[in-house]
Chains A and B, each alone.
Chain A
Amino acid sequence: MTTTEPAPGDAPENEIFVDGADWEDVVDAVVDDTITVNMGPQHPSTHGVLRLVLELDGETVLRVKPVVGYLHTGIEKNAEYRTWVQGTTFFTRMDYLAPLHNELAFCLGTERLLGIEVPERAQVIRVIMTEFNRIASHLVWLATGGMELGSTTMMTAGFREREHILDLFESQSGLRMNHAYIRPGGLAIDVTDDFVQRCEALLELLPKKIVEYEDLLLRNPIWNDRLRGIGIIDAERCYALGVTGPLLRAAGVPYDLRKAQPYSGIERFDFDVPTETAGDSFARFLVRIEEMRQSMRIIRQALDVLPGGPVMVEDREIAWPSQQALGPDGIGNDPEYIRHIMGESMESLINHFKLVTQGFTVPAGQVYEAIESPRGELGYAITSTGTNKPYRVHVREPSFVNLQAADEMSTGLMVSDIVVVVASLDPVMGGVDR
């Protein structure tokens, strides 16, 4: 059971170790009434491998210390040894619920260093795809959040609708997730002929489903009791802790980088920034639900103005051959282009080979490009020294920064509320640990 024998010198006298005894015996032996409990890293309610060290006074939480890094894969370091185009294939794997946002932010930064403007068609498709990605990400949040509070119906429903969006992504990029679809200079591949049709089918389906979720949860007494008044954070603390995204908007600040620093021509579209004033988990739920509706509003307008033309810059120093068509095997090919480089022009073949193996060089400089990801400000601080590889790329991950607020949001709550707080923070560990 419990040992109160202090190790000579270092351990404090009242240190107690639990080794398979009655909980009551442990509690009796505790002198100062606070217990430190490890939650995670392998815990079904911590959104992946997040470890929370809880300091408890009985059931009440005094302190939460998030311990991260279990999923660190060194993507930033890896990118320093990859070309700029290869970089997108790495960054898309960071925040795996918002891969297109990661690609977009990195590409916007690279394009600013290159000083190029991507074609309008590519910009509009980027907006459509990232907004669909936002909906998909919020659906996963709703699904996993519901599951953690015992609503398995919500889980199956959320993942079901997300799958439709992933089907769209798969039909356009060949991959459900980690697409590497947005490339510096435009898009990897043009959309298929039935793209607009597919989007419209989704826009038909999703609003009905969102009403269903609201019917299920909005007046659900369990959902209300568990979420209302839990995990409160106000605007001032959001500023101090760098918290952005739905958390900041649920605290009453209508700050959205799509409005504040529009990217990819998103300022042309009419949409609202939903806010709530309560600053609790329920307010975040309402904000995210409304954000899905606003994203659909943007997509509808974007589909109306979707122009023709190329989806990649014309510059052959940068552009990957973009006239590819998606074959039945899911791989893009351009028979015309292949005939050209293999049969007609040696120089084109050389250019193609150099572009694929060596990549293009990017002028030296530093940029910080931030966009609004589903979780908040996603920033890419890119340093280039004028070579074909980034010198350093640092990612300001909203999940990583927002996680700092977990401590303040949880103080004084019960252990079971920690699950709600973490769920409403919506951290994606792939993004936190990078």
Chain B
Amino acid sequence: MSDGQTTNVPDAGHGLSGVAMSLEAIERQVQTRFPSLATDIAFGELTVHATPETLVDLLQYCRDDQQLSCEMLADLSGVHWPAGEHIIERQTSTTGWPEYRVSRERGVVEVLYVLRSMTRNHWFRVSVGTDDEEPRLPSVVDIYPTANFHEREVYDFFGVEFDGHPDLTRILMPDDWVGHPHRKDYPLGGVDIPYKNDKYIPPPHERNLREVIR
């Protein structure tokens, strides 16, 4: 099991040139260049918490720096942290399942960038949050062209507008879909059915998310 990437320095059969940097060394280097950014190491992974303003500079620096040398954007994904008391599990009273609560002052869509150096064999994560009312981030397609599909996916699922993206359209959901389904405030309740048990059921996008349909 890989318990952290730094221990696995490429061996002779691997054929890659550089030597992996330790997480602490990456952390130091990033913080020297961007002193305002917070970092943390957990589960053997380094996360750099960027801001929308510093994101492009940070990624550009990580790609071009000789030491960090992150040639590849391995992954780009979103996580929605809604504001307020948000309960997803409604069966607590019957099964004793843990409640699924998220409590925040301000709703955030967190976008995670996994930067990987293939020549040096290390990687770390850049996390950036944007307000979930009007999520907006600069696009990194110019730095990493692979972000094209990923950003379209995050737009599709979370509604994050990526400024400067060449073709920001839905990718996995149908073009005429309403809403962004991976957001936690996206109303669930299945397909659009006009009524059930003599009760009118509004279509998903007009539905109150706290309303339980029985």
Could you give, for residues 359-380 of chain A, a 1 whenever the CB lies within 8 Å of some chain B CB and a 0 otherwise? 0010001111110000001010
Closest A residue to B97 by CB, please name it.
Answer: A358
Task: Write the residues of chain B forming the contact surface with A, with a CB cutoff of 8 angstroms.
Answer: 1-3, 5, 8, 10-11, 13-16, 42-45, 47, 71-75, 77-80, 88-89, 95-100, 102, 112, 114, 118, 121, 123, 125, 144-146, 148-150, 170-174, 181-182
Instruction: List the B side residues contacting A264 at CB < 8 Å.
Output: 1
Instruction: List the A side residues contacting B79 at CB < 8 Å.
Output: 383, 391-392, 394
Q: How far is the CA of A260 from the CA of B117 in the complex (A)?
A: 11
Q: Are B97 and A434 in touch, CB under 8 angstroms?
A: no
Could you give, for residues 376-394 of chain A, a 1 whenever the CB lies within 8 Å of some chain B CB and a 0 otherwise? 0101010101011101101
- Whether, in the assembled complex, A332 has its beta carbon less than 8 Å from a beta carbon of chain B, the answer is no
Q: How far is the CA of A244 from the CA of B74 in the complex (A)?
A: 9
Pick from A81, A381, A383, A403 the residue with the most CB of B within 10 Å. Answer: A381
Q: How far is the CA of A81 from the CA of B98 in the complex (A)?
A: 12
Closest A residue to B174 by CB, please name it.
Answer: A69
Q: Are A77 and B75 in touch, CB under 8 angstroms?
A: no
Instruction: List the A side residues contacting B125 at CB < 8 Å.
Output: 366, 368
Task: Write the residues of chain A forming the contact surface with B, with a CB cutoff of 8 angstroms.
Answer: 68-69, 72, 74, 76-77, 80-81, 108, 111-113, 117-118, 123, 239-244, 253-256, 259-265, 267, 272-273, 275, 357-358, 361, 365-370, 377, 379, 381, 383, 385, 387-389, 391-392, 394, 396, 400-401, 403-404, 433-434
**16 interchain pairs (CB within 8 A)?**
A69-B171, A69-B172, A69-B174, A112-B3, A255-B16, A358-B98, A365-B42, A365-B43, A368-B114, A368-B125, A370-B74, A392-B79, A396-B74, A401-B146, A433-B172, A434-B172
Q: How far is the CA of A123 from the CA of B174 in the complex (A)?
A: 41
**What are the 4 A-B residue pairs with the smallest beta carbon separation, nearest first?**
A242-B146, A394-B77, A396-B75, A254-B15
Tell me the dominant secondary structure on chain B's binding face: loop
Q: How far is the CA of A189 from the CA of B25 in the complex (A)?
A: 42
Shortest distance from the beta carbon of A38 to any chain B beta carbon, whole Å: 15
Give the contacting residue for A379; candidates B74, B97, B172, B181; CB below 8 A.
B74
Shortest distance from the beta carbon of A353 to any chain B beta carbon, whole Å: 10
Give the contacting residue for A239; candidates B43, B72, B80; CB below 8 A.
B72
Q: Are B42 and A263 in touch, CB under 8 angstroms?
A: no
Instruction: List the B side residues contacting A357 at CB < 8 Å.
Output: 95
Q: How far is the CA of A255 from the CA of B14 in the complex (A)?
A: 7
Q: Are A239 and B45 in touch, CB under 8 angstroms?
A: no
Closest B residue to A363 by CB, please name it.
Answer: B43
Additional A-B contact list (14), CB under 8 Å, known A68-B171, A358-B96: A112-B3, A240-B144, A242-B146, A253-B118, A259-B11, A260-B8, A262-B8, A365-B42, A366-B47, A368-B45, A368-B75, A391-B102, A394-B112, A396-B75
Instruction: List the A side residues contacting B99 at CB < 8 Å.
Output: 387
Q: How far is the CA of A123 from the CA of B2 in the complex (A)?
A: 12
Pick from B146, B150, B181 the residue with the most CB of A within 10 Å. Answer: B146
Q: How far is the CA of A363 from the CA of B91 in the complex (A)?
A: 21
Do A272 and B13 form a contact, CB below 8 Å, given A242-B146, A385-B100, A401-B149?
Answer: yes
Q: Are A273 and B98 in touch, CB under 8 angstroms?
A: no
Closest A residue to B73 by CB, please name it.
Answer: A242
Q: Are A112 and B44 in touch, CB under 8 angstroms?
A: yes
